[in-house]
Structure 1
């Protein structure tokens, strides 16, 4: 599932491709991927210019010229591709936004969605999300305050979007590894020093993920050499049974909150 770095990467690359460009056509192949009548959706979106693209947590927001917003959440299995009809992948397309000869294809939106909202509706929809990790006001002291009010396992807390927006299964594992803390540990048993390590690791790992294009390896466009670059940099995520690059021990996995959790039993205490 795309997390903060993947969506930030999409945002940055799409700004270069479609910002200030006109949506010339809209194609809806799966009505469940949108939230209103397809004809109304098309009437509202078509012939509108993309004014800006922003990210909030794991969501992208496409701001239209008419002040409406397209809210995208890719969820599990969702991704995008930008290019011509001849370049598109041989996959089922749920929604297509056209920009002349180039198109933005939304793929794998079985659980994900592309919804149309006003700014007021967007604010209400996203009101439960926690702070952005890179918000200047989200200091280490604010992190310590928020985590001090939490209980239960660390992994579950990091996945809680009302605690911090944008962290999912992959980056929670990598954050815990860099901090040297088991994701299975109870928050009440983590001292303030290690909690501060978690905060710094969160910043470092998410920045590295963005810099290297995230871990999802489907390119956004044909010449895209950035997207997916973090995949080979993962230290524990999806590496069950492989050797730890730090100490040589075997990476193990446990299931926490119905999610596979990867860690090194030697490096992470």
Structure 2
């Protein structure tokens, strides 16, 4: 599932391409992906100008001149593609938005959604999310207070969107490895210095992943050299059985609460 770095990469690239551009057409292939009849969705979008592309947690918000907001959550398997009719992917898109000669294809939204909401509805939908991990207002001290409210394992807290917005399976494991902490370690057992180290590891891993374009496999557009650049830099996630890049010990693939978990018992405690 795309996480904060992947959605931030989309936000940055789409801001460059969509801001100030008018929507010239909409095609709905799967009405369950949207939140109203297709005709009403199209009527409100066509001719409407994109004013800004923002992100909140794992969501991307397409702000429109009318004041409405397109709220996107890709869930599992969703991805975007920006191109022309000639270079489109050989994949069915659930929704396609036209902007002049280019089209934004929303693929894999069987579980995800693209909802057209008022500004107030969007704010209400996102109100329960926790703080952004890279928000300058989130300090090591406030992060520690968030963690102290939880009694379970680290991974449970890190992927809980009500605690922190944007971290999922991959980056929870990656930042725990960076900090030298086991993702299944119980939070009450953490020493204060370990909590501080975890906070700084979270910042370092997420910033690095954002700068490298996250781990999405499909480029956003033809010639895109940013999206997916973090794929080869994951140190433990999806690398079960491989040697740990820090100590050489075999990486463990485990399962917790129906989630995959990857860690190294050689250098994580």
User: If the length of structure 2 is used for normalisation, what is the TM-score?
Assistant: 0.99
1:115-153 alpha-carbon deviations (Å, 9 max, x no partner): 000011011101110001122221111001111111111
Correspondence for 2:32: 32
Q: Distance in 2 between matches of 1:141 and 1:58?
A: 24
3-state SS, counterpart of residue 262 of structure 1: strand
Deviation at 1:37, TM superposition (A): 1.0
CA–CA separation in structure 2 for the residues paired with 1:15 and 1:217: 20
* Shift of residue 229, structure 1, vs aligned partner: 0.5
Superposed displacement of residue 100, structure 1 = 1.2
Cα distance, 1:179 vs. partner?
A: 0.2
Counterpart for residue 223 of structure 2: 223
> Which structure 1 residue ranges, 4+ long, deviate > 4 Å from structure 2?
none
1:8 matched to which residue of 2? 8
Structure 1 CA distance, aligned partners of 2:228 and 2:259? Answer: 22
Q: Within 1, Cα distance between the matches of 2:15 and 2:146?
A: 33
Shift of 1:257: 1.9
**Distance across 2 between alignment mates of 1:174 and 1:134:** 16
| Structure 2: gaps (5+ residues) | none
* Distance across 2 between alignment mates of 1:195 and 1:147: 8
Q: Which residue of 1 aligns with 2:155?
A: 155
Deviations 1:183-238 (A, max 9, x none): 01100111111011110000000000100000112000001011001010000000
SS in structure 2 of the partner of residue 111 of structure 1: coil
SS of equivalent residue, structure 2 residue 130: coil
Aligned pair count reads: 269
* Correspondence for 1:174: 174
In the other structure, the counterpart of 1:91 is: 91
Any residues of structure 2 matched to 1:72-221 within 5 Å, and which? 72-221=72-221
User: Structure 1: which 5+ residue stretches go unaligned?
Assistant: none
Q: Deviations over 1:233-258 (max 9, x none)?
A: 00000000111111111001111121
Q: Deviations over 1:41-69 (max 9, x none)?
A: 10001111100000000000000010000
Q: How many Å separate the matches in 2 of 1:233 and 1:214?
A: 10
1:16 Cα deviation (Å)?
1.1
Cα distance in 2, alignment partners of residues 193 and 11 from structure 1: 34
Measured in 1, the distance between the counterparts of 2:184 and 2:253 equals 10
Q: Which residue of 2 aligns with 1:244?
A: 244
**Over the residues paired in the alignment, what is the CA RMSD in angstroms?**
0.6
The answer to whether the 8 Å contact 1:151/1:186 transfers is yes
Moved more, 32-41 or 132-141: 132-141
1:158 shift after superposition: 0.5
1:18 offset after TM fit, Å? 1.2
